[in-house]
A = this chain, B = another copy of it.
């Protein structure tokens, strides 16, 4: 081995980074708490130093090892401009030229994409979507993110903000969303969405209840938690059936915390999906759960921006 790429995944809580081989192996990893840095620049400096140290360390095993480039996934990223713009979950302000900051600190070519698209690229080159030219990855985290690939290429859209499937309206006059509108998919199908559903079903639930706890309760058989998953799955299946009419994917891959509930989520998703599909699509489109280790997918996807030119915006 003589080439590695740095993969960097900026999250609201933690920033993960590591070195990835061209064959998609995460060779070494590290993390930093995103919020403990006063601004983007100081985070970039610390992470870049750590990556340089990782390269030096790995060079002892692989003499002549070279860092080929870096790929960064971040929320509210504009992949065309290489910027993170007004990210509500980061303590950065305005428009941050994140790609150029990393490129300068690391001394290598750097690409930026958004966090959900990084996960989708991870699936495309190293996961469940290998060999697929048309697929959708849905990330069920705090919100609902997505990466849509058509004709083998990620859809970035005119200005880099395609694939905001979490903000597709699925219910008229539905739940109020953080975006100011009502009825967005992510107010139902996400970690925060399932908590809202659960609280509607069980108004006296403890204030501290979160998606992880609801998953635990559902797996133990608590009726309200199981119903919360059933309803979440039904809404997601309905929405996915509509997305199929846009890009006709070969498969849809679900990713993130909620998929840990397994069939409690998957069964109602599949049932509602088939029920709402146009007849020409029925019984043809696979809904699968990501097979990548959760913390690795975004690193692999970010790194794929270095090794695969077709992945880049």
Contact = CB atoms under 8 A, between A and B. Distances in A.
Count class of interface residues, chain A: 35 or more
Contact of A157 (B150, B155, B163, B279): B150
Interface string A139-163: 0000000001011010111111111
Which label, helix, strand, loop or mixed, suits the secondary structure of the A interface? loop
B158 A278 contact: no
Interface in A154-184: 155-165, 167-169, 179-181
Nearest to A284: B159
Nearest to A238: B169
A73 interface: no
Interface centre among A133, A148, A181, A246 (most CB of B within 10 A): A246
Contact of A179 (B242, B246, B278): B278
B247 A164 contact: no
B246 A158 contact: no
Query: How often does this chain occur in the complex, in copies?
Result: 2
Interface string A264-287: 000000000000101111001100
Interface string A176-196: 000111000000000000000
A225 B156 CA distance: 40
A164 B278 contact: yes
A77 to B, nearest CB: 12
A246 B246 contact: yes
A250 interface: yes
A241 B184 CA distance: 12
Given A243-B246, A246-B247, A278 B148 contact: no
A241 B167 CA distance: 10
A158 B133 CA distance: 7
Contacts of A159: 248, 284
Given A151-B153, A155-B151, A276-B169, A161 B247 contact: no
A110 interface: no
A150 B161 contact: no
A197 interface: no
Given A169-B241, A246-B247, A155 B162 contact: no
Nearest to A251: B158
A80 to B, nearest CB: 11
A247 to B, nearest CB: 5
A156 B249 CA distance: 10
Nearest to A154: B151
Contacts of A163: 245-246, 248
Contacts of A162: 134, 150, 245-248
Interface string A213-252: 0000000000000000000000000100111011111100
Contacts of A133: 158
A285 B160 CA distance: 13
Contacts of A285: 158
9 contacts: A150-B153, A161-B280, A161-B281, A167-B278, A168-B245, A169-B242, A180-B279, A243-B246, A246-B247
